[in-house]
Structure 1
């Protein structure tokens, strides 16, 4: 008479478990839906508020670009870098509208004789006559893949770019003569405005100042354009007046040079304002390619400890993610982002034991290593080795950590690895070296 009870009991338990499972899954669905909604609303609120950026109205921002890259690189700035900036202008070698924003011609006041005769302006003349349609698909592809050389990038747009810097100094002063600071950036420069504003507050804007990541060509020390640079109102007035009084000299100097930021730097120095060497507050790499443990320009200032105000070479796809990260940090933290914070909380979560098709920019060649596994063992055998990469028959190691980037072209098959169990000790040692390092100041 009890033979059916085990089967009945089993079916009852199954029904109960099914109900519990459905209820659990429903609760989980509602929880994650609510969480996603709150997260999106929070971010939407953040992106609408620029109130924390006190002093941004005292800046005039000049973004310099070129016709071949503007449609691809400018749009992302309207929702990230330039979103809160009340006073800015976009300048290129071709006047047009992009995303409802006017792009001005930076070269429209250059000496007409130079435009008509100088080889650098052959590309410009074609561009003005026919727009981008004046160039073949093959030409555009060749220029886009042009290599960097000791004399700059080998493309006509790049060679033309050097002529924009001095005219833009004058255009900026005319457009906003009462700005306290003029900030010059490029279409792949990311500025952390909260940090930049707090840094600029250490300086007297009524005095001549020229702030930028230091570079040198010959005997000219100048601010690297890609990192962004800031010029105070008195300094800009001085260089504009000096250039006007020596126009032919600087036209001739530009014609014989290859770097426009160097041309501007010489004119600023000639007008009596010296550069404040501003690395690593302003930097010339994107976060993923930065070596946060390496100084630059002969100064013992490693990025790790310092506040970060700019990065360079960010691809358009990276801007939204980095902007969201920065906004979240500024909302939740009273302190500005240092380079070490960007490493820990933005880059480190993407570092794993290994990554195929990825170049982490390891630099030290290791001989007699013929496999990825051997490359890892070689790195592990060196107490200070933190990462490695392997391509073909080549093993490279590094004592610093970089995230790096996807492999391109000849490096598509590169495979990278990290000794993740050593990263904690590395970061703690780096922190211990900081002391009171924070801002780059005179």
Structure 2
């Protein structure tokens, strides 16, 4: 009966109640839409990448007192053997700072030998890691093929056509045709170089884990180890540090098309323990299993045929992981010894590395450096000037004196000989040296910095094979003496991170 009475009751909603019901439905719908919009925006914000930093690190120059790690010695660089010279090398530092040399089978042998007789001369095989694109012995050291364990994706991907160079080299090694004319025709060592950088990080950590700093360098890198060891005393190895000489890298379209930087591999670069951990860190699931790939697999897509350089790839990966490059140029320098511009910007600065220094200069500089170590202060650009002493000879024929800090004579002056070019420089107090491009060229170039330069014989003009250019360089001793007297190196500073000095 109760059921029949309920069903027979007419369905009637009073107007007031009906109005409130509609309002509640509208309010509920509005809240639902609002929550959906907020959740959508929140998810979008989660997806949107953020800059590691809005700007690259800009830190103040430091007057930190540093001490030499080298042992006191009375070295005789001209007569002592390398073994005798290396007795003062601070081997205890190598428990904290790991040197890593990158080379390749196709590397220039004269340059490689010079490297082993200079920057790398004091390291035993247990102390120095050598990475290459082929397993082989280099003197007492074993070069590790760092490409050997890269995943099969490199072998199959159409974007890695350059990888065929590696397979061809391995085949030549196995059939005995390596180091013959066939290799010169088919193997492009430069094409293989970019594949080494990411697996180098993994392998260096696996071989020598938890070092304070990892120093990566190449066969044409010269490192002033005393200065580098001093400089690293200033830094916390557990901070995310990636330092070197800055070069322009990719633009980041997901972060406002911001330009990025990477550390040029030639002058060498340093990665701290903290940065290495960030670089190699992998995400784990609830049961401890890895749910993402190792570094060299995760970012292998970057090493396509259109990418020129592995140091650029490494810089981009670090940027993506929130570690921008610390630019410490001109301490990490892309100059060769012969083309350093000794000027007011550099004269009183410590020098840590050089790049593209000639093999002979590398070996000679290594020996000379042992006579320059001081417990009182680091080696400065002004000290390195003493090696070649540019300006001590007033004139050099068949000599290119350099290109930095160049400017032209006044436009109303007609200069038609090297003698006239020298007189124009002598009349301008800002001119320290000059260069005359003679023959058919007839151009006078004035220079506001001291440079050693290099021998350069008569050569054909760049645009017209029927014309010839000769090179003569000169220095104005009086201007150089006055300029040097104005330089004050009493307050030595380690340069802070900056990109403005270079770019």
TM value normalised by structure 1: 0.78
1:221 is matched with which residue?
A: 261
2:336 is matched with which residue?
A: 286
Q: CA 1:88/1:226 → structure 2, altered by over 3 Å: closer, same or farther?
A: same
1:67 matched to 2:123? The reply is no
CA–CA distance in structure 2, aligned partners of residues 188 and 133 of structure 1: 27
CA–CA distance in structure 1, aligned partners of residues 432 and 342 of structure 2: 13
1:382 matched to 2:428? The reply is yes
Specify the SS of the correspondent of 1:305.
coil
**Structure 1: gaps (5+ residues):** 1-36, 144-154, 295-301
2:218 is matched with which residue?
A: 186
* Aligned-residue offset at 1:81: 1.2
2:397 pairs, out of 353, 356, 359, with 356
Instruction: State which structure, 1 or 2, has the greater radius of gyration over its C-alpha atoms.
Output: 2
Aligned residue pair count? 383
Q: How does 1:231-310 map to 2 (within 5 A)?
A: 231-241=271-281, 244=293, 250-255=299-304, 256-293=306-343, 302-310=345-353
Q: CA 1:173/1:158 → structure 2, altered by over 3 Å: closer, same or farther?
A: same
Does the 8 A contact of 2:396 with 2:472 survive in 1?
yes
2:207 pairs, out of 147, 151, 175, with 175
CA–CA distance in structure 1, aligned partners of residues 272 and 188 of structure 2: 32
* Aligned-residue offset at 1:69: 1.7
1:55 is matched with which residue?
A: 93
Work out which structure has the larger RCO, using CA pairs closer than 8 Å and 6 or more positions apart in sequence: 2
Does the 8 A contact of 1:53 with 1:193 survive in 2?
no
Does the 8 A contact of 2:331 with 2:351 survive in 1?
yes
Q: CA 1:246/1:181 → structure 2, altered by over 3 Å: closer, same or farther?
A: closer
Q: CA 1:249/1:365 → structure 2, altered by over 3 Å: closer, same or farther?
A: farther
Specify the SS of the correspondent of 2:231.
helix
Does the 8 A contact of 1:92 with 1:106 survive in 2?
yes
1:156 is matched with which residue?
A: 188
2:115 is matched with which residue?
A: 77
Structure 1 range deviating more: 387-396 or 129-138 = 129-138
Does the 8 A contact of 1:281 with 1:307 survive in 2?
yes
Structure 1 range deviating more: 96-105 or 319-328 = 96-105
Structure 1 range deviating more: 68-77 or 403-412 = 403-412
CA–CA distance in structure 1, aligned partners of residues 99 and 295 of structure 2: 26
Specify the SS of the correspondent of 2:281.
helix
2:169 is matched with which residue?
A: 127
1:403 is matched with which residue?
A: 452
1:425 matched to 2:475? The reply is no
1:9 is matched with which residue?
A: none
Q: CA 1:400/1:260 → structure 2, altered by over 3 Å: closer, same or farther?
A: same
CA–CA distance in structure 1, aligned partners of residues 446 and 399 of structure 2: 14
Q: CA 1:51/1:187 → structure 2, altered by over 3 Å: closer, same or farther?
A: closer
* Aligned-residue offset at 1:73: 2.1
CA–CA distance in structure 1, aligned partners of residues 151 and 431 of structure 2: 56
Larger helix proportion of the pair: 1
Specify the SS of the correspondent of 1:304.
coil
2:133 is matched with which residue?
A: 93
Cα shift readout 1:128-167 (whole Å, capped 9, x = no counterpart): 2215955875984x99xxxxxxxxxxx9322321111111
Specify the SS of the correspondent of 1:227.
coil
Cα shift readout 1:330-361 (whole Å, capped 9, x = no counterpart): 1x663221111111x11216741111222111
CA–CA distance in structure 2, aligned partners of residues 39 and 63 of structure 1: 25
1:346 matched to 2:346? The reply is no
1:24 is matched with which residue?
A: none
Cα shift readout 1:79-110 (whole Å, capped 9, x = no counterpart): 32123335211122222222232112121122
CA–CA distance in structure 2, aligned partners of residues 314 and 416 of structure 1: 20
Specify the SS of the correspondent of 1:440.
coil
1:321 is matched with which residue?
A: 364
What CA RMSD, in Å, does the superposition of the two structures yield over aligned residues?
A: 3.0
